[in-house]
Structure 1
Amino acid sequence: MAAPPSIADRLFWPVVLGGAASLWFGPRALAAAGAVVAVILLHRLGRGRRFRRLVRAIAAHHGETLALRRRQECYLDPYDNLIADGWLRERDYFVARTVAPRLERAGYGDLLASRRDEVLAIVEEAASRPEPEPAEADLPDDGIAYERFCAALLERAGWHARATRASGDQGADVIAECDGTRLVVQCKRYARPVGNGAVQEVVAARSYWSADLAAVVSNAGFTPSARKLAAATDVRLLHHDDLATLAPRPSDRRR
């Protein structure tokens, strides 16, 4: 995409034509040309403000998703260091695939490189909204209680859900049904991203329980290998916050 005209390009013809007109029509023509130049300058000077306003609007529109992805992709390692590598990749992806195309279409694409830090700060602000209740500190500490917690969230969303027994579940911690759709869930209360072992288990559970949908639910994020395997096996990777609004679709039911 070609760069937008510079301020000098925009002012060239108004100045030239205004100067020429003033020779024929006097001070009034010169004043009119001056007014045109002033409008162009004011519009140009406000471009940065409009750029920021557009970025804030884009980030705010996706704020809930950004906040959820930030919670999923940030975690504390065993040494109490905040590991945010996954979130930083997610943030860059959002800027490249969502923000940049909108800026290009609106004529602000040339500003993105020079104002990238400003854009990232706006996205961080939008993603830093407080976590909805229940807070992480209020989550059950042990795995079995977390399974029951996830089943209760599904019940609120309209599913008939039950946590399975600790043994003999064949990879399904929760089994839920709604409108003829059966869902099997692996629940992982972890302090670090969940690996692809959980995806493999829930794939087996989907077959064993003849389920339509399979999901891994965690309070933490997921490793890149888990995401890759989930995409290949049609497994949903969810944060427990997603369960409160999870609803089956007609296309989810296996034929």
Structure 2
Amino acid sequence: MRRSSSLADRLFWPIVAGGAASLWVGPKALAVAGLVVLGLVMHRLGRGGRFRRRVRAIARRHRETLALRRRQESYVDPYGNEILDGWLRERSYFAERTLLPRLEAEGYGDLVEARWDEILDIVEAASLSVAAPDEAAALPEDGIAYERYCAALLEQAGWDARTTKAAGDQGADVVAERDGLRLVVQCKRYAKPVGNGAVQEVVAARSYWGADCAAVVSNAGFTPAARKLAAATDVLLLHHDSLAALGTRPGGRPPR
């Protein structure tokens, strides 16, 4: 991690130069050196504020995605407790992979460790700055209705989507087609993160239906095991909020 020079380092040479010059030029040189020193002190004192503003600016640019990821990675357990473990991991990931490299490149690397909690608080505030949809009123309670709900969201995105029959679906709750592509989807209306069993099922469904791509969609997050298996098998893990804007990339793959 790159470290910025200390205030003492910055002041040393202006003071030495000003003192030496004053022996030759007189008090005016010393006054100029004093102004330089004062400018450096004021610049240094304002560095913490500039650091915070920079962190806020970067986090604000990603607030929509952060808000979505917070909803995806949080859930309420059967006891009514809000479980944020997945979101806390995602928040740290964003800070480490997105914020940290930029802050280091801009000369703030020496402040990161001491202000890490402040950075996380700023990211948290950005994730909460976007109003969440009223899912309590809109989200179906049972699994079959949730499958229809997901199919309707895909229809909004331009897919020709249909739910499958409960029997013989071979792991696909929704089959959707667009621009010559076929997508199979497992829909999980859960009160806890979805495990890797759903990923295994949709991998089998992709083969059975001859699909180009496969996804597991849930209102909750996904376990680390599910994420690992999905990455290895090229399965998309999505929150249903992502479906209404799900398009296709050049080359035919839905975006991750």
TM range (shorter): over 0.9
Cα distance in structure 1, aligned partners of 2:49 and 2:158: 45
CA distance in 1, matches of 2:134, 2:242: 12
Q: Does 1:214 align with 2:220?
A: no
Aligned to 1:114: 114
Structure 1 distance, partners of 2:192, 2:129, is 21
TM-score when normalising by structure 1? 0.94
The structural deviation recorded for 1:2 is: 4.8
| Alignment map for 1:1-255 (pairs within 5 Å) | 1-252=1-252
- After superposition, the C-alpha distances for 1:61-113 in whole angstroms (9 at most, x for unaligned) are 22122111111111111111111111111111221222111111111111011
- Return the TM-score normalized by structure 2: 0.94
Q: Tell which deviates more after alignment, 14-23 or 148-157.
A: 14-23
Query: Paired residues, what number?
Result: 253
User: Which residue identity is paired with 1:59?
Assistant: A
Using the alignment, how far apart are the partners of 2:4 and 2:175 within structure 1?
56
CA distance in 2, matches of 1:123, 1:107: 20
Ranges in structure 2 where 5+ consecutive residues have no aligned partner: none
Structure 1 stretch displaced more, 112-121 or 18-27: 18-27
What is the deviation of 1:15? 1.1
Unaligned stretches of 5+ residues in structure 1: none
CA distance in 2, matches of 1:131, 1:54: 23
Alignment RMSD? 1.5
Identity among equivalent positions (%) equals 72
Once residues 64 and 207 of structure 2 are traced to their aligned partners in structure 1, the CA distance between those partners, rounded to angstroms, is: 33
Whole-angstrom distance in 2 between the partners of 1:5 and 1:18: 20
Take 2:130 and 2:53, find their aligned partners in 1: how far apart are those partners? 22
Contact 2:173-2:186 at 8 Å conserved across structures: yes
Residue 23 (structure 1) shift: 2.4
Letter in 1 for 2:180: G
**Which string of whole-angstrom CA distances, capped at 9 and with x for unpartnered residues, describes residues 99-152 of structure 1?**
111111111111011111110100110111345435244201111111111111
What CA deviation, in whole Å up to 9, does each residue of 1:27-73 have, x standing for no partner? 32222112111111111111101111111122112212211111111
Residue 175 of structure 2 contacts residue 184 of structure 2 at CA under 8 Å; is this kept in 1? yes
3-state SS, counterpart of residue 80 of structure 1: coil
Cα distance in 1 between the residues matched to 2:101 and 2:75: 30
Separation of aligned partners in 2, 1:160 and 1:206: 17
1:139-190 CA deviation, whole Å, 9 max, x = no partner?
0111111111111111111111111122221111111111101101111111
